[in-house]
Amino acid sequence: MLERFGHVDTLVNAAGVNSATPFFEITEQEWQRIIDIDLKSVFLACQVFGKAMVDAGRGGSIINISSASSGPPLSKVFTYSVAKGGVNQITQFLANYLAPHNVRVNAILPGFFRPSRTAKYSPKSASPASWGTRP
């Protein structure tokens, strides 16, 4: 990317996968896959492109997509919640670390919404009346 375009002004880290596997059934392989995609990729991209922004001396912006479930996790997304909590920590650290270089680092924490595609991540007891709240 840097060779092709010469510099980078903005990085958006938006990768994310999830799983509804119950806690006692999460395998190490599943854990690692989610951590690698949702957390490690953010670390590596911030390291590579953040350094390029600093080295270029032009400043820049890093935007990390986290999740509202990075705080108290939704009931069935434990590994995802751990990873997104890590994204928040990376974001807070880098916001301070890169500020002297005029590189802004922020996170967006979208809330949970309930289209049919994500229904499997909610407790079966969730009713339409509670869809706007967190279990």
Q: CA-to-CA distance for 20 and 99, rounded, in angstroms? A: 37
Q: CA-to-CA distance for 39 and 27, rounded, in angstroms? A: 17
SS3 61: strand
Based on the residue annotation, tell me whether 121 is a catalytic residue of this protein. no
| Active-site residue identified among 80, 83, 87, 122 | 80
Q: CA-to-CA distance for 109 and 121, rounded, in angstroms? A: 17
Name the CA dihedral angle for 115, 120, 123, 124, rounded to a multiple of 10 degrees: 90
Active-site annotation, residues: 80
